[in-house]
Amino acid sequence: MRVGLDVGGTKTDAVIIDDDVHILARTRLATGWGVDAVGATIARAVDLVCGEAGIAREDIRSVGVGMPGQVAPGSTRVAHAVNLGVRELDVTRTLEPILGIPVRVENDVKAAALGAHALHGSGSGTMAYLNLGTGVAAGIVVEGQVWRGAGGSAGEVGHISIDPAGPPCRCGQRGCIEALAGGGAVAERWGRPGALPVRDVFDAADAGDALAVALRDDLARGVASAIRVLVLTADVDTVVIGGGLSALGDRLTTPVAAELEAGAEASAFIRSLRLRERATLLPAGSPAAALGAALVGRTTEEVLAHG
């Protein structure tokens, strides 16, 4: 059995899975702020989910932690987890002595990609998980493993510019996919306060507000471009869309599908890729991110044996 945690800016989602990747228990708790509180949240989440399942800590083979921020390939440390108030945390070194279980850490999008693959991956074995949150990034899963690439930039499609006349991106470029489709960029361009700014933009667009309609169009254009980039570069079989914006459900997928459809009408080549059929939305409340964290660090043999 393995524990997986998705440590988010407000909530931490915890699951415990068996060797066949079935979820035995799941629990959620509030995430603390800052390096010490985040460490305490992780330890507490493991105990809570073990208690929920009635399983002793000694029976857990590993704890996998998915966190926003940079995790170098094979590293035990997360850096720049800005949303959590963590500049740097050696998750393994901090938590292993406390828990007495092997602890691994992974970037949250890459972990969620593993989980989305386990839950929704198709047979062909190549899948991208496109995370639409404050930023835009993807994780590519090949034969059950996260595509690692050379230096950690795999799946960073958010910073591909698709319009030299587009809005400036916080990365310094113009017209990046993230500048069009990132929740943070949309909120900034909208410029009005609100707890769920992208939802506000969609509401205002429905009511006919011109700026909101333009922002929604840009968002759909950005997401459609991300899907095209993933298929035209890595030729993934499926693009599973998750992240905070995926809670918009049909309100998100309808304009994205329309944008993909328009592209397919313009180009026989693009049409042949059947992009609309390849894109799918993660269901609301999906445990993909925590489940994926639990899968982090499984050996190739285990992946092949248990899928």
Q: Which of residues 269-288 bind a copy of itself (CB under 8 A)?
A: 269-270, 273
At a CB cut-off of 8 Å and minimum separation 6, what does 127 contact? 113, 116, 117, 120, 121, 140, 141, 236, 237, 238, 239, 240
* Part of the chain binding a copy of itself (CB under 8 A), chosen from 8-16, 157-165, 186-194, 244-252: 157-165
DSSP codes of every residue in 136-178: EEEEEEETTEE--TTTS-TT-GGG-BS-TTS-B-TTS-BSBHH
Q: Which stretch binds a copy of itself (CB under 8 A): 17-25, 32-40, 197-205, 222-230?
A: 222-230
Residue 162 binds to a copy of itself (criterion: CB under 8 A)? yes
Q: Rounded to whole angstroms, what are the CA distances from 112 to 76, 81, 141, 165, 251? A: 18, 16, 10, 33, 22
Q: Angle, to 10 degrees, between the axis of helix 288-295 and the axis of helix 108-120?
A: 100
Numbers of helices and strands, H then E, in the chain: 12, 12
Residues 50-89: x where in contact with a copy of itself by CB under 8 A, - otherwise, as a string: ----------------------------------------
Region near a copy of itself per CB under 8 A, out of 4-12, 230-238, 243-251, 293-301: 230-238
Concatenate the DSSP letters of all residues of 27-88 into one string.
EEEEPPSSHHHHHHHHHHHHHHHHHHHT--GGG--EEEEEESSB--TT-SEEEEEGGGTEEE
For residue 254, the minimal CB distance to a copy of itself (Å) is 21
Closest contact distance (angstroms) between CB of 234 and a copy of itself is: 6
- Decide: is 92 part of the binding site for a copy of itself (CB under 8 A): no
Binding region for a copy of itself (CB under 8 A) out of 16-24, 102-110, 162-170, 191-199: 162-170
Is residue 173 a contact residue for a copy of itself (CB under 8 A)? yes
- C-alpha torsion sign, points 233, 166, 255, 243: positive
State the nearest-atom distance from the C-beta of 35 to a copy of itself, in Å: 24
Residue 157 touches a copy of itself, criterion: CB under 8 A: yes
Interface residues for a copy of itself in 94-113 (CB under 8 A)?
none
Interacting residues toward a copy of itself by CB under 8 A = 124, 126, 138, 140, 147-157, 159-165, 169, 171-173, 225, 228-237, 263, 266-270, 273
